[in-house]
Amino acid sequence: MHGCRFDGHADNIADMRSTRWGKLLLQASTAPACSIRRYEQRRGCALELDFERVDSMLPIVGIIIVIVSVLTGFAMAGGHMHALIRPSEIVTIGGAALGAMICSSPPKVLKDVMKGLITLLKGGNVGKQTYSEAFKLLYELFRVARRDGMLAWESILSEGHSNAVFQKYPKIAHDHHLMEFVTGALQGAMEGNDGPTLQTLLDSEIHVFESEHHDAVAALTRTADGLPGFGIVAAVLGIVVTMGAIGGPVEEIGHKVGAALVGTFLGILMSYGLVGPLAGAMDGLGHAEAALQKTIAAAIVGFAGGGSPRAVMDNVRRGCGSAVRPSSKELDEMLKEVDAQK
């Protein structure tokens, strides 16, 4: 079925073709309705991905707003930016905070902190698109098991992320930790564990992940809490330097006192405007990753318990958070897309 037609003389149509907007309007009017629907679907998908990109950038945007607001207010009050550039204060505060974190945290926690911060600054990997890929991947694997038995998963799991099935879903395949969880859960189902046993095993694995992530967040939070104190240390050291020049010109003494106070300022700003918010964002990312793991676990346990692929995915959908939950119509479209594949 085609779209609407233009009624009018050929001369009018010729006039329309002579303008850029007229050409576009004519093309739109004669485009098949199915093409328009495909365009709208692609456009909707693109907008969804754009929103996910914006969400992933929020921590960076927030930090930029903090810094710009503070510096703008300082400049509006008549301050000079060069007065805040104190490398010695940054070395004292940053170095002391880093050393304290290294002293108080085991190597595994330090590694998790670095990985968590890198993942956070990259935007994370737990949006609606990730859930969509997880749903389609699991449904496809469930269809394979229904047709050929769960042992058919063995060849797929042995190849890991390089297998053609996983390659269709890059957000899953390129996430090493998530791939380990998915393949481990499928392996547990393939080995014949019943629903309750498999649920217990997966709950234990998720609990370990949550515990390790909590340790990393706690280490970063302790560092944030200590930064104001290290800022005071830097300020005190600056006052000590000032006291050594107490007999000098008033301008020099004022300059040194101001430099000392910058230490307090930097310590508080780094704590409440940088490290603390990053710790909070990393904590939220960990909760989102754990929620995705619980969703995947519920689907695999439900299928291992005898549920049909479509019913299992619909039941699991209902337990997802509102920000990532696909609607019934969206789920139906996802499953139809998988059904259409050979």
Tens-digit pLDDT string for the chain (342 aa): 444 444 444 444 455 455 554 444 445 444 443 433 443 444 444 444 444 555 667 888 888 999 999 999 999 999 888 888 889 899 999 999 999 999 999 999 999 999 999 888 887 768 889 999 999 999 999 999 998 888 889 888 888 888 888 999 999 998 888 999 999 999 999 888 888 899 999 999 999 999 999 999 999 999 999 999 999 999 999 999 888 877 778 888 888 888 889 999 999 999 999 999 999 999 999 999 999 999 999 999 999 988 899 999 999 999 998 889 999 999 999 999 988 875
- The predicted structure's pLDDT at residue 149: 87
Nearest-CA neighbor of 231 among 195, 204, 270, 198?
270
What per-residue confidence (pLDDT) applies to 51? Answer: 46
How far apart are the C-alpha atoms of 211 and 2, rounded to whole Å? 58
User: What are the helix (H) ranges across the chain?
Assistant: 10-17, 20-30, 33-76, 87-104, 107-122, 128-148, 153-159, 164-167, 170-173, 176-190, 195-244, 250-270, 276-304, 309-318, 328-339
Decide: helix, strand or coil at residue 275: helix
pLDDT at 114: 94
Entry pTM: 0.78
Q: What local confidence, expressed as pLDDT, does residue 7 receive?
A: 45
Written as one letter, the residue type at 188 is: G
